[in-house]
Amino acid sequence: MGHTKPYRSKRDHSNGYCRAYELNLSKLLADEAQIIAAAPEGLRLVKDSIRTLDNEVVENISINAISNPSNVKRVESIISESDWNHLFPLRDEKYTYLNFLKAIGKYPAFCGDYSDGRDAEAICRKSLATMFAHFTQETGGHDKSIADVTPEWRQGLYYLREIGWQEGTPGGYGVCGEETWQGRTYPCGTFPDGTYKSYFGRGSKQLSYNYNYGPFSQSIYGNVETLLNQPELVADTWLNLASAVFFYLYPQPPKPSMLHVIDGTWQPNQQDIANGLVPGFGVTTQIINGGVECGGASEHIQSQNRIDYYHNFANYLDVPVPQDEVLGCASMKQFDEGGAGALSIYWEEDWGWSSETPTGETYKCQLKAYQVPHSAFIEGDYRKCVEYHFDVTIIDDLEGVAPTANAGVDKTIFSDNTVVELDGSLSSSASTDTLTYEWVSQGELLPITNADKAVATVVIPKVDVTTEYPFTLTITNQDGESDSDDMVVTANTKPDNMPPIVTLSGESTAISGESMTVTAEIVDEDDTVFTIDWTNDSNLTLVIADDDRSVNFVAPEVEVETAVNITVTVTDSGNNIVSSAQTVTISPPDTGTYPNWILGHEYAAGDRVTANGVNYECKPWPYSAWCGSNVVYQPGVGTFWSEAWFVVE
C-alpha cells in the first residue's frame, strides 16, 4: 500500500566506535512519545479511523441484534437484508449479509458518529454508495447480455477469487525473497513442499500481494502471520468484505483514505488543487487505481463504469450528487509528496547528527510518508525501527519502577463543541507492567471517548465565558500500584470571526542565484479574502504573485552560508492578524559544472551536483528521497552515495 522505498539494514560504523550504543528504554519511549506529540493532527485522526473492535465482539454480531455496535445498527437502518439481496443478486454465496455486518462492525469509524456536527447518516450513505460502486467494478460480472434483467450496477460481488486463480496455486503475487524488506516484514507462507503461497485477488477488494495481506492481517488479528499463512480466509470468511472496509479507511500516503475524502477530513491544498485532486467520487478512483484509470485526455472505460455504478447506488441510497461534484478522474494527476494527503505514518531512520552520542548518530527514527516496514500504528514498531537501523542495545531502566501518570500539558482552545485530545502516552512504568488507564472529567462531567486508553478524546461544549475543564488520568499496574495526574482544558468563547491558520511552504535551502518560491497556505473558516503582506530581513526583492499567496525571489550572492527570513502577515475581515515565517539558508555557488551538494536539500530525480570535479545525478524516486538526507549519501564521499546518485559525464 502506498509508495515504497528501498530498505537496508544498520549501517557500518567507520569511526572506530565498535561497541553497541546503550540506550535506556525510558529515553527510547520518551523519544517516541515526543515525535508522536509533535506530529500533525492528521496522524491522530487516522489512528481514530482505523481502530478496531475485538474479534470476539465481531463474531457475536447478528442480524438486527439489540447488542450490535452502533455503526452496524446505522448500516442496518439503511441497508436491510432484502436490500442486500436486491443490490447483489448474483453475488457469490460467501458474500452474505451477516458477513457484511461483521465487516462493518470490525471498524467502528465506518458509518460511525461525529461529534463536530457533521451528518453521520449522510456520510454513511455516501460511503456505502462509494464502496459499493468500487467493489462492483472490481468483482462484478460485467455481463451486458443480462443487463435487461440484472443491470451491470447490480452484478457486483460475482467473483470471490481472481479469475484464473484457485487455492493451492503457488508462487503468485508475492514479494517473498528475504533480500527484500517486503519479504522480511511480511514473510510469505509456504505449502508443504516449500513453495510460496499465492496472494492473488480475493474478496470484495480483490486484495493482492503479501505486503497488503500483512497489514490487513495486522488490523484483523494483531499479527501479520495469520493471513500470510492462511490467505484463503480473505475469501471464505467475513474478511471477504472487511478487506474493502479496511481499504476504504486506511490511507496510502501520499493518498488520503477514502473515508477522509468523503467525510471532509481531507482538504486539498494548493498543490492538490493544481493537480485536479478535489473532493468528490472521482478522487476515490484515483486512490484505488489512478495509475491505470486516471490522467488521460478522456475518461477510462473502467472509471466510467465506476461513475455509472455510483450514480445508481447513490440514487438507491438517497445520496445527492451535486452537479459540480467531480465524478471522473480524466486529466487528474496522481497524488504526490507535496499534497495534503502525504501524511507521515511510517518509522524511518533519522539520518540527522547528534552531539550527544559518541558516533554522532541520533539513535532515533522519524516519521515518513513512504512505505517502509515499521508503522506508527503498531505498538513496538518504533523500537524495532531503532534496533534495525542502529547498532544499539536497549537497557531496561524501567524494571521495578512505580507507575507515573502524565496527563499531558494544559490546553487552551476556542470552544464550539470542539474535540480535544487527552494524551497520557508520556506516562511511564516498569517495562513488564500491564497498565490500565482511566480518564475522569472533574467538576462538570463530560463524556470521554476511549476513557480507558492512554489517548482519549472529549468534546468541549460551546461556552459564553472562559471556562476551565479539569481532567484526571489514573494509571494502575497489574499489582494495583497506581498514580494520577491532572490537566486542564481552558475553553474561551469562540470569537465571531476566527483567526486564520497560516502555513508557509517552499525549499529551506538555496544556492546564490537560484530562483526560489515561498507559498502561503491560508485556512480560515470565516473568510476567503485577506490582506496579505510579505516582508524579509535581507532587503531581497520579492516578486508577489497576482493572488498574493506566494512570492518569488533570487537567492542573493553570499560568501558563506547565510539565513534569510521570509515573513507573511495575513489580516482577515475580523482584523485578526497572523504572521508566519520561513527561514531559507543560502549557500555560495560552486565553481563546478553544477551546484555543490547541500546536506538536507530535498533533491528531485534528475537533479545534478558537482563534487570534487565529478558530476552526479540524483536517481529516480524512491531513491531520490536519500539524495540530500544524510552525509552517508554525499556524492562520491558518503558510505552509501551510490544508492542515491549516478556519475554523469
CB 529 within 8 A of CB 573: yes
Burial call 497-520: b when 16+ CB within 10 Å, e when fewer: ebbbebebbbebbbbbebebebbb
Q: Let me know the angle formed at the C-alpha of 118 by 264 and 41, rounded to the nearest 5 degrees.
A: 55
How many Å is the maximal CA-CA distance in the chain? Answer: 78
- Indicate if 643 belongs to the active site: no
d(CA 501, CA 521): 8
Residue 137 CA to residue 153 CA, distance in Å, equals: 8
Cα gap 287→255, rounded to integer Å: 6
Dist CA 294 CA 333 (whole Å): 7
Q: Which of 67, 74, 77, 57 is nearest to 113 (CA)?
A: 74
| Ramachandran quadrant class, 621 (left: phi over 0; alpha: psi -120 to 50; beta: rest) | beta
The letter for the amino acid at 272 is D
Q: Could you report how far apart the first and last alpha carbons of the chain are, in Å?
A: 37
Angle CA(30)–CA(34)–CA(40) in degrees, nearest 5? 155
Instruction: Retrieve residue 526's grid coordinates.
Output: 470565516
Return the amino acid letter for 252. Q
Question: Bridge partners of 509?
Answer: 585
Residue carrying C-alpha cell 558563506: 560
Asked whether the CA dihedral 189, 191, 197, 201 is positive or negative, the reply is negative
**Phi, psi dihedral angles at 412 (to 5 degrees):** -125, 130
CA distances from 396 to 30, 229, 431 (A): 13, 33, 7
The C-alpha atoms of residue 365 and residue 590 are separated, in whole angstroms, by 32
Q: Which three cell numbers stand for residue 577?
A: 492578524
Extended beta strands in 185-329, E state: none
Cell numbers at residue 140, please?
462484478
Residue 54 has φ and ψ, to the nearest 5°, of: -60, 140
| Alpha carbons 522 and 501: distance in angstroms, whole number | 6
Instruction: Spot the catalytic one: 32, 138, 293, 348.
Output: 138
Q: Is the dihedral of CA 244, 250, 254, 260 positive or negative?
A: positive
Residue 102: which of 205, 218, 242, 246 has the closest Cα? 242
Q: Tell me the catalytic residues.
A: 138
